[in-house]
Amino acid sequence: MPQMPRTPAGRGYLAIPGPSVMPEAVLSAMHRPAPNIYAGELPEMMPGIVADLKRVARTDGHVAIYIANGHGVWEAALSNVIAPGDTVLVPATGHFGHGWGGMARALGAEAEVIDFGKSSAMDVGRVAEALAADTARRIKAVLAVHVDTSSSALSDISALRAAMDEVGHPALLMADCIASLGCDVFEMDAWGVDVMVAGCQKGLMVPPGMGFVFFNDKAAARRAEMPRVSNYWDWTPRAQPDDFWQYWNGTAPTHHVYGLRAALDMIHGEGIEAVWARHERLARAIWAACDAWSTEGALRMNMAEPKHRSTAVTALRLDPPRATELREWTETHLGLTLGIGLGMAERTDPSWHGYFRLGHMGHVNGHMIMGLLGGIEAGMAALKIPYGAGALAAAAGIIGAVSP
First vs last C-alpha separation in the chain: 44
Q: Is 61 or 374 the residue whose CB approaches a copy of itself more closely?
A: 374
Which residues are CB-contacts of 368 (< 8 A; sequence separation ≥ 6)?
13, 21
Min dist. Cβ of residue 363 to a copy of itself (A): 5
| Nearest partner of 71 among 95, 37, 52, 39, judged by Cα | 95
**H-helix or E-strand spanning residue 357:** strand 355-359
Min dist. Cβ of residue 119 to a copy of itself (A): 21
DSSP 313: E
Cα 202 from Cα 15, distance rounded (Å): 11
Min dist. Cβ of residue 348 to a copy of itself (A): 12
Q: Is 96 or 215 the residue whose CB approaches a copy of itself more closely?
A: 96
Which string of DSSP letters, residue by residue, matches 42-59? HHHHHHHHHHHHHHHHT-
Min dist. Cβ of residue 168 to a copy of itself (A): 32
SS3 186: coil
Tell me if 113 sits within 8 A of 144, measured CB to CB. no
Min dist. Cβ of residue 385 to a copy of itself (A): 10
Q: Is 126 or 367 the residue whose CB approaches a copy of itself more closely?
A: 367
Q: Is 33 or 47 the residue whose CB approaches a copy of itself more closely?
A: 33
Q: Is 62 or 202 the residue whose CB approaches a copy of itself more closely?
A: 202
Dihedral of CA atoms 159, 164, 166, 170 in degrees, nearest 10, equals -150
Cα 252 from Cα 248, distance rounded (Å): 6
Cα 224 from Cα 239, distance rounded (Å): 14
Q: Is 184 or 377 the residue whose CB approaches a copy of itself more closely?
A: 377
SS3 123: coil
CA angle 255, 19, 208 (to 5 degrees): 30
Q: Is 41 or 305 the residue whose CB approaches a copy of itself more closely?
A: 41
Min dist. Cβ of residue 253 to a copy of itself (A): 4
332 Rama sector, left if φ>0, alpha if ψ -120 to 50, beta otherwise = alpha
Min dist. Cβ of residue 269 to a copy of itself (A): 8
Q: Is 59 or 311 the residue whose CB approaches a copy of itself more closely?
A: 311
Q: Is 163 or 373 the residue whose CB approaches a copy of itself more closely?
A: 373
| Nearest partner of 56 among 160, 207, 203, judged by Cα | 203
DSSP 295: T
Min dist. Cβ of residue 210 to a copy of itself (A): 8
Min dist. Cβ of residue 285 to a copy of itself (A): 9
Distances in Å between the alpha carbon of 74 and those of 213, 297, 392? 8, 39, 39
